[in-house]
Amino acid sequence: MPQYFTVAHLIARLQNLDPNLQVRLAVNPDFAFAHYIGSDVVVHNGTAYIGEDGQEGYLPAAVRDELAWP
């Protein structure tokens, strides 16, 4: 995903999904994990930051594979 990904890009990616789906943030430091999305959004210097709200656990292998993460 490009580093210039915007709020408009995110909305476009999500707009056709079921609005009742839960949302997680996939993070891959050394092991792929799923994180809860926090409700806070902070805008600073032209960038919107969405906070995480804790770790759910390991990312499902099928998701990790689809993201092409080791």
Q: What is the pTM of this model?
A: 0.74
The arithmetic mean of pLDDT across residues 5-13, rounded, is 89
* Alpha-carbon gap, residue 12 to 59, rounded angstroms: 24
Question: Is residue 42 classed as helix, strand or coil in its secondary structure?
Answer: strand
Neighbour tally for 25: CB within 10 Å? 17
- Could you tell me which residues come within 8 angstroms of residue 44 by beta carbon, excluding any fewer than 6 positions away? none
pLDDT (tens digit per residue) in 29-67? 778 899 999 989 999 998 888 988 999 999 999 999 998
Going by pLDDT thresholds of 50, 70 and 90, the confidence category of residue 4 is confident
55: its two tokens: 């770790």
- pLDDT value of residue 46: 84
